[in-house]
Amino acid sequence: MALIITDECINCDVCEPVCPNTAIFQGEIIYEIKSESCTECVGHFNEPQCVAICPVNCIIKNPDVVETDEELMQKYERLVGDKNSIIV
């Protein structure tokens, strides 16, 4: 699953820079996660970096975006491939 930020977010800004997929952005009211870019950190780290650093524990699994570990890895490979194709 991708993750989602709940309305308990205090806009502290520490999660955005730790996301390896640049999936986190400042939304209209609170920070948000682009589910198409969130791999739950699969491919980069052993645990979601945003969850580990969030001081108020307001980042949870998005029940509307259900993905297996295999699908998350495929998403990671697609994202890395996209990035490489931009560099080339």
Q: Which is nearer to ligand SF4, 6 or 88 (CB)?
A: 6
**What is the separation of C-alpha 22 from the centre of its chain, rounded to a whole number of angstroms?**
7
How many Å apart are CA 62 and CA 73, to the nearest integer?
A: 17
Q: How far is the CB of 71 from ligand SF4 (least distance, A)?
A: 14
Q: Which is nearer to ligand SF4, 64 or 88 (CB)?
A: 64
Question: Going by C-beta distance under 8 Å and a sequence separation of 6 or more, which residues neighbour residue 72?
Answer: 39, 40, 42, 43
Tokens matching residue 35: 């589910």
Q: Which is nearer to ligand SF4, 18 or 80 (CB)?
A: 18
Binding region for ligand SF4 (CB under 6 A): 3, 5, 9-15, 18-19, 21, 23-24, 31, 33, 38-41, 48-50, 53-54, 56, 58-59
